[in-house]
Structure 1
Amino acid sequence: MTRMKQASGMVALAALGFALPTVAYAQSTGFGSGAGSAMGNAGTGMGSDTASEAPSGKSDRASRRGSRGQGGKRVEVAPYIEVDQIVTAELSPGDDVLTYTQVAVGVDATIQGRNNGASASVRYQRQFGWGRKAGDGDVISGVVRGYATVVPGVTIEAGALASQVNVENGGSALAAGPLSGNGKSTVYSVYAGPSVATRVGDLDVGANYRAGFTKVEQSNASRDLQTGAAADVFDKSVVQSADVQAGFAPGTVLPVGVGVGGSFYQEDISNLDQRARDMQARAMVTVPVSRTVQVVGAIGYEDVEISSRDALRDADGAPIVGSDGRYVTDKSTPRSMAYDVSGLIWDVAVMWRPSRRTSLSAHFGRRYGSTSYGGTLAYAPSDRSQFSVAVYDNVSGFGGQVNRALDQLPDDFEVVRDPITGELRGCVASLDGGNCLSGVLGSVRSSTFRARGISANYSMKFGRMSAGIGAGYDRRKYIAAQNTILAAANGVLDENWWLAAYVGGDLGRDAGWSANVYANWVSSNDPLTGDVAGYGASASYYKMFAPRLRGTLAIGIDGAKYDTPSIDDLWTASALAGLRYTF
């Protein structure tokens, strides 16, 4: 029987300290809030939670940071060591039963204060297989997100991610399953940068800069499980972005708010020297309609370019694939333009903020040479629950998209992990918005793309329990230059529907439980790529045997279903028994 083709690997996390930024005043994020107005805005005076807002009002995130700091500093750091015994049974297409011993070390940390805050969960684990079929492997996984105020009005913000994925033929990606890490692919991402907000008389001024790096590392085992399409799997990229805005709030120099702004975004992708560059300048007017509603109009100029080089070819004209499984770039060839759009852009946004617990922003306009729309909704009915929705539209590569999602994570969270594999499970547990990363990891093609989609999440605490659910849709239309090896990817559509949920709570003072589920449905119109769906569910129970010693029992099931007849579906069931000592 045909085994499922997995591409995988461990994941690594760049170590970041916890000195990272609170933005004293709202600004559009350096990587571009995929949910906010594409144009940006100055002088709103509302403190809305979107990229449309200006330095004149505090953002929801900044406000929450300030309120948390009022109660004094909170520092929680919990390093641990863990030993587990794991049994994995293949349910389909085979019936192998594999046994592993797993040793892990990690740290979970939260630091929250008036001028700084960060959350982190970083874990390294090593698997030792019993028998010939149970291979050894090691994994680093985790997520870090935080900020630090350098001086009033100046903050530094940073984050990092490490997560495993199974890369399928054609670049589709599913959440990593329970088998050894040698067959999976590694995703690393890190970003950092300063934000500045100040006031010169009545003039509000804000600026920020972000730099990011993302890497997908494929093991030999993961490449062997794919065809030649593995050559188009994303390798690495460097992202830089900057944004500056200046404006007067309504009622200062004029009854309406006025402002100007500019932004720059560039992603350099190593695969065939691809480059995505977006520059824009804009002028904005804010019209107060009522105490809770404002309308913002913006007009400007944008220049967007995407270019690349061709692959190096042998004497017969066939593209050469390097030792890393990816196409070798022909540095001697000139750049080929894949996308070149410049001209007038405009945007109209409506912002509604009836209370500090509710904010809505929706915008419609023209960008990237066509209609563009998006928005955000944030609703917190109480201090123990929150609901948020984001609609986005942007152009970038895989690295830029991961950096954007990481930038939107809250800085006060708990990581949701699979109790058996220790891997991240799509969303973090937090009562702030923007809690999920599942949407950006559904495809790891190297080509740049225009991404449109929606994500929503709801989280709550009730009694001694907490729960959350996230769901979304991500649509990517790829952009590649004609007369190059990437031309076949031009116009390809990848769609990813995703779902992630968790629930857990305490059972008295010395015990507790948790459960989580996830699902991804990935489809493509690429004739070389079939549709694939990934599913998983797990549950765990823990008991404290001593103040620092915890025992855990867990079970889980994971599967992948293919619409390609030649590929069998893969289902596995796993069980774990382990001990953790927290220092």
Structure 2
Amino acid sequence: MKRLLILVAAGALCTPSAASAQQHSQVTPYIEASQVLTADLQNGDVLTYSTIGAGVDASVQTRRVEVQLSYQYEHAFSWDGSGDSDVHSGLARANVHVTRDVTFEAGGIATRARSDIRGIDSFFFGDNSNTSQVYSGYLGPNVATHVGVASLTALYRLGYTKVETPGFTGVPAGQPRLDYYDDATSQLAMASIGTKAGDIAPFGITLSGAGQREDAGQLDQRYQGGFLRIDIVQPVSRQLALVAGAGYEHIRISQRDPLLDANGVPVLDRNGRFVTDPGSPRRTAYETDNPIFWDAGIIWRPSPRTELEARVGRRYDSWTYTGSFSHEIGPGSGIQIGVYDNVQSFGRQLNDGLAALPTSFTSTQDPFSNNYNGCVFGTVGNAAGGCLNGIFQSIATANYRARGVNGIIAFNRGRTRYGVGAGYANRRFYAPDTGPGFTVNGVDDDAYYAQAFAARALDSVSSLEGNVYVSRYHSGIIAAPVVWTGGANASYHRSFGRLAANASVGIYWYDQQSADDVFAQAMLALGYRF
């Protein structure tokens, strides 16, 4: 249960003081039981199982406190002897304004994710093929204040990620064996100081810097990075400004070799992870060759509700393209698009993804798998949300250069809520190329994904909602198959006082070139909210 502290730490922020917590707070614990039918439409197999679960939904939105937490534990009892299973699923985000200048921020997630990008994508109870339970969270203070005419910002973030080992991965025979992620702890410190155009110069100027370190459990991996940069903003008109920045950066990623047996095969521990060779030297997986980087672009703000920023530059010894666009359509509705290019790991990128999510969001997880590994739609202003699909395309043990684009639209009008999210993600892996055995160094993974969500409150006691999604995954490992996954589900909810009933149906499919399948599911659930 100690892993649940990732979510509990964020949830505990719901009650920073008795006065503020009681202003506009709603905390609803519940229990729920369900009966599920799963039919394999390819071979005709049918199985059924029962579940019982408990969870809590919490929301606090006051002047000083912004918290949303949704967590559920569920246990499935199989009827055919295939084995019981447990799932933890939850998402939490919190901002607490400690003083006018200091806020405390936290976020956490518990979900299941695909382990090997070359394998099948199955999240059904009783089948943990190629899936792992993931726990991740971060916390830390933010400071935003003024020193004379200058604006000063700083933050510290402590992050932790833990991944359990998967079952059968379904990777085709002959493919190399990849390591399993264990855990990682990261620390990040950032600070910047800047002035606006006209304060001390005709242009705005900002000096910023950051330092980060991550220590991972597998093969004693270590990331160390930091940068210093200066940015200049030159207004051209009231709506348009030119921007340019340059800086110095140093990154070093290193690890040790796996222990090999007499036949040259990596030795595995009882969980299937590679054992680290204690006599191995520390090998460099990646180190910046050209530490000087630069970028330039524009900032366009045609109105207080709309902003576009686009930059092009040189970094990581190649061209880089980054940008963002946000637009507030109306109260509770907005658009967000982001283009990114940075050096990441699974744990660090997941913490960054959590930090980018709003503190008020719509829960759109699959009713059958209860996963929070797709798009999360916001409910306030232009904080439209974000998509975690690119992070969860697979659980990677190596560090990588992450490039891609995410776009999300969220509408919240009266009784109707709906949203669309889509994106593309590329990862190019860094690993030592001088060690023994297979290496992922230089290998590229690609993922394309799209998701749509809609919900409608029929009246004060009943509602309908539905999800549809599709994804395409491909690894650059030689002979790795292209994997397609997709699904659609719909649910009807009705409350009878504290009692609540749910009816859901869904259809899911995957295509792995050499294997494919289609499943249909139906569920009836009854819950009690305290």
TM-score by length of structure 2 reads 0.92
Structure 2 residue aligned with 1:497: 448
**Which stretch shifts more, 355-364 or 417-426?**
417-426
**Post-superposition offset of 1:296:** 2.1
Deviations 1:174-228 (A, max 9, x none): 7653332654311111111111122121122111111111122114x44698878
Decide which of 423, 428, 436 is 1:477's aligned counterpart.
Answer: 428
State the AA in 2 paired with 1:554.
S
State the AA in 2 paired with 1:488.
T
State the AA in 1 paired with 2:230.
A
Decide which of 319, 341, 358 is 1:393's aligned counterpart.
Answer: 341
SS in 1 for 2:8: coil
Report if aligned partners of 1:173, 1:441 keep a CA contact under 8 Å in 2.
no
Structure 2 residue aligned with 1:464: 415
Report if aligned partners of 1:165, 1:174 keep a CA contact under 8 Å in 2.
no
CA distance in 1, matches of 2:107, 2:497: 32
Decide which of 144, 152, 156 is 2:100's aligned counterpart.
Answer: 152
The within-5 A match list for 1:503-522 is: 503-522=454-473
State the AA in 1 paired with 2:9.
L
Deviations 1:9-61 (A, max 9, x none): x999642244659xxxxxxxxxxxxxxxxxxxxxxxxxxxxxxxxxxxxxxxx
TM-score by length of structure 1 reads 0.84
Report if aligned partners of 1:264, 1:279 keep a CA contact under 8 Å in 2.
yes
Structure 2 residue aligned with 1:111: 60
State the AA in 1 paired with 2:115.
V
**Post-superposition offset of 1:367:** 1.3
State the AA in 1 paired with 2:260.
R
Structure 1 residue aligned with 2:132: 185
Structure 2 residue aligned with 1:379: 327
State the AA in 1 paired with 2:79.
W
State the AA in 2 paired with 1:501.
A
SS in 2 for 1:424: coil
Structure 2 residue aligned with 1:454: 405
Report if aligned partners of 1:425, 1:500 keep a CA contact under 8 Å in 2.
no
* Bigger relative CO (Cα 8 Å, ≥ 6 apart): 1
CA distance in 2, matches of 1:467, 1:555: 19
State the AA in 1 paired with 2:47.
L
**Which stretch shifts more, 520-529 or 155-164?**
520-529
Structure 2 vs 1, CA of residues 225 and 101 (structure 1 numbering), >3 Å: closer, same or farther? farther
Structure 2 vs 1, CA of residues 18 and 356 (structure 1 numbering), >3 Å: closer, same or farther? farther
Structure 2 residue aligned with 1:213: 160
Q: What is the count of residue pairs matched by the alignment?
A: 516
Decide which of 323, 326, 329 is 2:270's aligned counterpart.
Answer: 323
CA distance in 2, matches of 1:368, 1:180: 44
**Which stretch shifts more, 81-90 or 304-313?**
304-313
Structure 2 residue aligned with 1:74: 24
SS in 2 for 1:310: coil
Structure 2 vs 1, CA of residues 543 and 261 (structure 1 numbering), >3 Å: closer, same or farther? closer
CA distance in 2, matches of 1:299, 1:97: 60
1:370 correspondence with 2:318: yes
State the AA in 2 paired with 1:204.
S
State the AA in 2 paired with 1:112.
Q
Structure 2 vs 1, CA of residues 80 and 314 (structure 1 numbering), >3 Å: closer, same or farther? same
Query: Percentage identity across aligned positions?
Result: 35
CA distance in 1, matches of 2:481, 2:44: 25
Structure 2 residue aligned with 1:271: 218
Structure 2 residue aligned with 1:309: 256
CA distance in 1, matches of 2:284, 2:370: 43
Name stretches of at least 5 consecutive residues in structure 2 with no aligned partner.
Answer: 15-19
Deviations 1:493-527 (A, max 9, x none): 10010112111112223221111012210012212
Deviations 1:287-322 (A, max 9, x none): 121112222221211112222111112234332122
State the AA in 1 paired with 2:386.
N
CA distance in 1, matches of 2:437, 2:300: 44
Structure 2 vs 1, CA of residues 249 and 20 (structure 1 numbering), >3 Å: closer, same or farther? farther
The within-5 A match list for 1:12-91 is: 14-18=7-11, 73-91=23-41
Structure 1 residue aligned with 2:17: none
Structure 2 residue aligned with 1:122: 71
Name stretches of at least 5 consecutive residues in structure 1 with no aligned partner.
Answer: 1-9, 22-69
Structure 1 residue aligned with 2:146: 199
The within-5 A match list for 1:225-304 is: 229=176, 231-304=178-251
Report if aligned partners of 1:188, 1:215 keep a CA contact under 8 Å in 2.
yes
State the AA in 2 paired with 1:194.
P
Structure 2 residue aligned with 1:532: 483
Report if aligned partners of 1:392, 1:452 keep a CA contact under 8 Å in 2.
yes
**Post-superposition offset of 1:120:** 0.9
Structure 2 vs 1, CA of residues 210 and 132 (structure 1 numbering), >3 Å: closer, same or farther? same
SS in 1 for 2:358: coil
SS in 2 for 1:440: coil
CA distance in 1, matches of 2:262, 2:106: 47
SS in 2 for 1:404: helix
**Which stretch shifts more, 517-526 or 248-257?**
248-257
CA distance in 1, matches of 2:476, 2:73: 37
1:426 correspondence with 2:419: no
Structure 2 residue aligned with 1:554: 504
Structure 2 vs 1, CA of residues 372 and 174 (structure 1 numbering), >3 Å: closer, same or farther? farther
1:345 correspondence with 2:296: no
**Post-superposition offset of 1:384:** 4.1
